[in-house]
Amino acid sequence: MASPPTSTYQYFLVTYPAPYVAHVQINRPEKLNAFFEAMWLEFRRIFDTLSHAPDVRSIILSGAGDRAFSSGLDVEAAAQEGILTVTEPDARTTDVARRAQAIKRHVEEFQACISSVEKCEKPVICVLHGYSLGLSLDISTCADIRICTSDVQMAVKEVDIGLAADIGTLSRLPKVVGSFSWVKDVCLSARVFGADEALRVGFVSHVESTKESALGRALVMAKLLAEKSPVAVQGTKELLNHARDNRLADSLRYTGVWNSAAIQTKDVRDAILSGLQKRKPTFEKL
Amino acid sequence: MASPPTSTYQYFLVTYPAPYVAHVQINRPEKLNAFFEAMWLEFRRIFDTLSHAPDVRSIILSGAGDRAFSSGLDVEAAAQEGILTVTEPDARTTDVARRAQAIKRHVEEFQACISSVEKCEKPVICVLHGYSLGLSLDISTCADIRICTSDVQMAVKEVDIGLAADIGTLSRLPKVVGSFSWVKDVCLSARVFGADEALRVGFVSHVESTKESALGRALVMAKLLAEKSPVAVQGTKELLNHARDNRLADSLRYTGVWNSAAIQTKDVRDAILSGLQKRKPTFEKL
Amino acid sequence: MASPPTSTYQYFLVTYPAPYVAHVQINRPEKLNAFFEAMWLEFRRIFDTLSHAPDVRSIILSGAGDRAFSSGLDVEAAAQEGILTVTEPDARTTDVARRAQAIKRHVEEFQACISSVEKCEKPVICVLHGYSLGLSLDISTCADIRICTSDVQMAVKEVDIGLAADIGTLSRLPKVVGSFSWVKDVCLSARVFGADEALRVGFVSHVESTKESALGRALVMAKLLAEKSPVAVQGTKELLNHARDNRLADSLRYTGVWNSAAIQTKDVRDAILSGLQKRKPTFEKL
Amino acid sequence: MASPPTSTYQYFLVTYPAPYVAHVQINRPEKLNAFFEAMWLEFRRIFDTLSHAPDVRSIILSGAGDRAFSSGLDVEAAAQEGILTVTEPDARTTDVARRAQAIKRHVEEFQACISSVEKCEKPVICVLHGYSLGLSLDISTCADIRICTSDVQMAVKEVDIGLAADIGTLSRLPKVVGSFSWVKDVCLSARVFGADEALRVGFVSHVESTKESALGRALVMAKLLAEKSPVAVQGTKELLNHARDNRLADSLRYTGVWNSAAIQTKDVRDAILSGLQKRKPTFEKL
Amino acid sequence: MASPPTSTYQYFLVTYPAPYVAHVQINRPEKLNAFFEAMWLEFRRIFDTLSHAPDVRSIILSGAGDRAFSSGLDVEAAAQEGILTVTEPDARTTDVARRAQAIKRHVEEFQACISSVEKCEKPVICVLHGYSLGLSLDISTCADIRICTSDVQMAVKEVDIGLAADIGTLSRLPKVVGSFSWVKDVCLSARVFGADEALRVGFVSHVESTKESALGRALVMAKLLAEKSPVAVQGTKELLNHARDNRLADSLRYTGVWNSAAIQTKDVRDAILSGLQKRKPTFEKL
Amino acid sequence: MASPPTSTYQYFLVTYPAPYVAHVQINRPEKLNAFFEAMWLEFRRIFDTLSHAPDVRSIILSGAGDRAFSSGLDVEAAAQEGILTVTEPDARTTDVARRAQAIKRHVEEFQACISSVEKCEKPVICVLHGYSLGLSLDISTCADIRICTSDVQMAVKEVDIGLAADIGTLSRLPKVVGSFSWVKDVCLSARVFGADEALRVGFVSHVESTKESALGRALVMAKLLAEKSPVAVQGTKELLNHARDNRLADSLRYTGVWNSAAIQTKDVRDAILSGLQKRKPTFEKL
pLDDT in tens, A97-144: 999 999 999 999 999 999 999 999 999 999 999 999 999 999 999 999
Distance CA F89, CA F77 (A): 16
Write the burial class of residue E30 (CB in 10 Å: 0-12 exposed, 13-18 middle, 19+ buried).
Answer: exposed
Q: In DSSP terms, which residues pair with A148 in a beta bridge?
A: A128, A207
Distance CA D73, CA D71 (A): 7
E202 interaction partners in chain D (CB closer than 8 Å): 178, 202
- For CATH 3.90.226.10, list the domain ranges present in chain F: 12-227
Q: In DSSP terms, which residues pair with A25 in a beta bridge?
A: A13, A62
* Mean pLDDT of all residues belonging to chain E: 94
Beta strands E58-63 and E21-26: pairing type? parallel
Residue contact A178–B175, C-beta within 8 A: no
pLDDT of residue B82: 74
CA angle, A113 as apex, A107 and A114 as ends, to 5°? 90
Which residue type, as a one-letter code, is found at position F32?
L
Kindly give, in sequence order, each residue whose CB lies less than 8 Å from that of residue E49, ignoring residues fewer than 6 positions away: E5, E7
Across the interface, of D101, D262, D284, the residue whose CB is closest to B286 is D101
Beta strands A145-149 and A206-208: pairing type? parallel
Residue contact A163–B268, C-beta within 8 A: yes
Q: Which of D94, D98, D258, D265 is most worth mutating to test chain B (most B CB atoms within 10 A of its CB)? A: D98
Helices (H), chain C: 37-52, 75-80, 96-119, 135-142, 169-176, 180-189, 195-200, 211-227, 230-245, 248-262, 266-276
pLDDT tens, position by position, E150-185: 999 999 999 999 999 999 999 999 999 999 999 999
Residue contact E103–D263, C-beta within 8 A: yes
pLDDT tens, position by position, F152-165: 999 999 999 999 99
Query: Three-state DSSP class for A12?
Result: strand
pLDDT of residue B76: 84
pLDDT of residue E84: 74
Q: What interface predicted TM-score (ipTM) does this complex get? A: 0.95
Residue contact C254–D254, C-beta within 8 A: yes
Q: Which long-range contacts does C78-82 make (Cβ < 8 Å, 24+ apart)? A: C78/A272, C78/C36, C79/A272, C79/A273, C79/A276, C82/C37, C82/C106
Q: Which of B103, B119, B180 is most worth mutating to test chain C (most C CB atoms within 10 A of its CB)? A: B180
DSSP B151: T
Q: Return the CATH superfamily for domain A230-277.
A: Lyase 2-enoyl-coa Hydratase, Chain  A, domain 2 (1.10.12.10)
What's the distance, Cα to Cα, between the start and end of chain C in Å? 13
pLDDT in tens, chain D (286 residues): 445 556 799 999 999 999 999 999 999 999 999 999 999 999 999 999 999 999 999 999 999 999 999 999 998 888 787 777 665 555 446 899 999 999 999 999 999 999 999 999 999 999 999 999 999 999 999 999 999 999 999 999 999 999 999 999 999 999 999 999 999 999 999 999 999 999 999 999 999 999 999 999 999 999 999 999 999 999 999 999 999 999 999 999 999 999 999 999 999 999 999 988 899 999 999 9
Other Cβ atoms closer than 10 A to A92: 10
Across the interface, of D179, D201, D240, the residue whose CB is closest to E184 is D240
pLDDT of residue D76: 84
pLDDT tens, position by position, E37-78: 999 999 999 999 999 999 999 999 999 999 999 999 998 888
Q: In which band, very low, low, confident or very high, does the pLDDT at A192 lie, cut at 50, 70 and 90? A: very high
Distance CA F164, CA B143 (A): 49
What's the distance, Cα to Cα, between the start and end of chain E in Å? 13
Q: Return the CATH superfamily for domain B12-227.
A: 2-enoyl-CoA Hydratase; Chain A, domain 1 (3.90.226.10)
pLDDT of residue D202: 97
Across the interface, of F115, F170, F246, the residue whose CB is closest to E236 is F170
What percentage of residues in chain C have a pLDDT greater than 90? 88
Average pLDDT over residues A245-273: 95
Kindly give, in sequence order, each residue whose CB lies less than 8 Å from that of residue A79, ignoring residues fewer than 6 positions away: A85, A86, B272, B273, B276
Let me know: does D172 contact F248? Beta carbons within 8 Å. yes
C263 interaction partners in chain E (CB closer than 8 Å): 97
Let me know: does C276 contact C162? Beta carbons within 8 Å. no
Write the burial class of residue D109 (CB in 10 Å: 0-12 exposed, 13-18 middle, 19+ buried).
Answer: middle
D254 interaction partners in chain C (CB closer than 8 Å): 254, 257
Q: Looking at CA atoms only, how far is residue C2 from chain E in angstroms? A: 15
Kindly give, in sequence order, each residue whose CB lies less than 8 Å from that of residue A74, ignoring residues fewer than 6 positions away: A31, A34, A35, A36
The low-confidence residues of chain B, meaning pLDDT below 70, are: 1-6, 86-93
Count of pairs with CB atoms under 8 A, one residue in B, one in F: 16
pLDDT of residue A90: 53
Phi, psi of F204 (to 5 degrees): -110, 155
Output the CA torsion A225→A230→A234→A236 (10° steps).
-70
Residue contact B236–A174, C-beta within 8 A: no
* Mean pLDDT of all residues belonging to chain A: 94
Q: Looking at CA atoms only, how far is residue A211 from chain E in angstroms? A: 39
Q: pLDDT at residue C89 above 60?
A: no
Phi, psi of C69 (to 5 degrees): -65, -55
For D77, the enclosing helix (H) or strand (E) is helix D75-80
Across the interface, of E146, E240, E268, the residue whose CB is closest to F174 is E240
Which residue type, as a one-letter code, is found at position F74?
D
pLDDT of residue C91: 47
Query: What DSSP string describes C110-171?
Result: HHHHHHHHHH-SS-EEEEE-BEEETHHHHHHHHSSEEEEETT-EEE--GGGGTS---SSHHH
Closest CA to E54 of A14, C102, D68: C102
Question: In which order are the strands placed within the sheet that holds D12-18?
Answer: D12-18, D21-26, D58-63, D124-128, D145-149, D206-208
Distance CA D87, CA D82 (A): 10
Q: In which band, very low, low, confident or very high, does the pLDDT at A52 lie, cut at 50, 70 and 90? A: very high
Let me know: does C66 contact C134? Beta carbons within 8 Å. no
Residue contact B267–D231, C-beta within 8 A: no
Q: In which band, very low, low, confident or very high, does the pLDDT at A196 lie, cut at 50, 70 and 90? A: very high
Count of pairs with CB atoms under 8 A, one residue in C, one in E: 49
Across the interface, of D166, D183, D202, the residue whose CB is closest to F259 is D166
Phi, psi of C80 (to 5 degrees): -75, -40
pLDDT of residue A93: 59
Q: In which band, very low, low, confident or very high, does the pLDDT at F109 lie, cut at 50, 70 and 90? A: very high
pLDDT of residue C90: 53
Which residue type, as a one-letter code, is found at position B131?
Y
Let me know: does A131 contact A68? Beta carbons within 8 Å. yes
Q: Looking at CA atoms only, how far is residue D251 from chain C in angstroms? A: 11
Q: In which band, very low, low, confident or very high, does the pLDDT at A91 lie, cut at 50, 70 and 90? A: very low
Beta strands B12-18 and B21-26: pairing type? antiparallel
pLDDT tens, position by position, F256-265: 999 999 999 9
Please tell me which chains touch C, using 3 or more CB pairs under 8 Å as the contact test.
Answer: A, B, D, E
Closest CA to D116 of D45, D184, D67: D45
What's the distance, Cα to Cα, between the start and end of chain A in Å? 14
- For CATH 1.10.12.10, list the domain ranges present in chain B: 230-277
Q: In which band, very low, low, confident or very high, does the pLDDT at C93 lie, cut at 50, 70 and 90? A: low
Residue contact D261–B97, C-beta within 8 A: yes
Query: Three-state DSSP class for A104?
Result: helix
Beta strands B206-208 and B145-149: pairing type? parallel
Query: Three-state DSSP class for A62?
Result: strand
Across the interface, of B95, B100, B265, the residue whose CB is closest to D96 is B265
Other Cβ atoms closer than 10 A to A12: 20
Helix C37-52 to helix C96-119 angle (10° resolution) is 40
Across the interface, of F257, F260, F264, the residue whose CB is closest to B254 is F257
Let me know: does B71 contact D241? Beta carbons within 8 Å. no
Residue contact F189–E224, C-beta within 8 A: yes
Output the CA torsion F197→F200→F202→F206 (10° steps).
90
Let me know: does F124 contact F43? Beta carbons within 8 Å. no
pTM of the model: 0.96
Write the burial class of residue F209 (CB in 10 Å: 0-12 exposed, 13-18 middle, 19+ buried).
Answer: exposed
Average pLDDT over residues E186-212: 98
Query: What DSSP string describes D103-159?
Result: HHHHHHHHHHHHHHHHH-SS-EEEEE-BEEETHHHHHHHHSSEEEEETT-EEE--GG
pLDDT of residue A4: 58
What percentage of residues in chain E have a pLDDT greater than 90? 88
Residue contact E181–D145, C-beta within 8 A: yes
Q: pLDDT at residue C81 above 80?
A: no
Distance CA C198, CA C22 (A): 26
Cα dihedral across residues E83, E85, E86, E89: positive or negative: negative
DSSP A155: E
CA atoms lying within 13 Å on the CB side of residue C166: 28
Residue positions counted in chain D: 286
Query: Three-state DSSP class for D15?
Result: strand
Residue contact C52–E105, C-beta within 8 A: yes
**Beta strand ranges found along chain D (DSSP E):** 12-18, 21-26, 58-63, 68-70, 124-128, 131-133, 145-149, 153-155, 206-208
Residue contact A181–B178, C-beta within 8 A: no
pLDDT of residue F91: 47
C108 interaction partners in chain A (CB closer than 8 Å): 252-253, 256
D100 interaction partners in chain B (CB closer than 8 Å): 261-262, 264
Write the burial class of residue D164 (CB in 10 Å: 0-12 exposed, 13-18 middle, 19+ buried).
Answer: buried
Q: In DSSP terms, which residues pair with D62 in a beta bridge?
A: D25
Write the burial class of residue C7 (CB in 10 Å: 0-12 exposed, 13-18 middle, 19+ buried).
Answer: exposed
Let me know: does A147 contact A128? Beta carbons within 8 Å. yes
Count of pairs with CB atoms under 8 A, one residue in B, one in D: 50
Please tell me which chains touch F, using 3 or more CB pairs under 8 Å as the contact test.
Answer: A, B, D, E
Output the CA torsion C244→C245→C247→C250 (10° steps).
-100
Query: What DSSP string describes E88-157?
Result: PPPGGG-SHHHHHHHHHHHHHHHHHHHHHHHH-SS-EEEEE-BEEETHHHHHHHHSSEEEEETT-EEE--
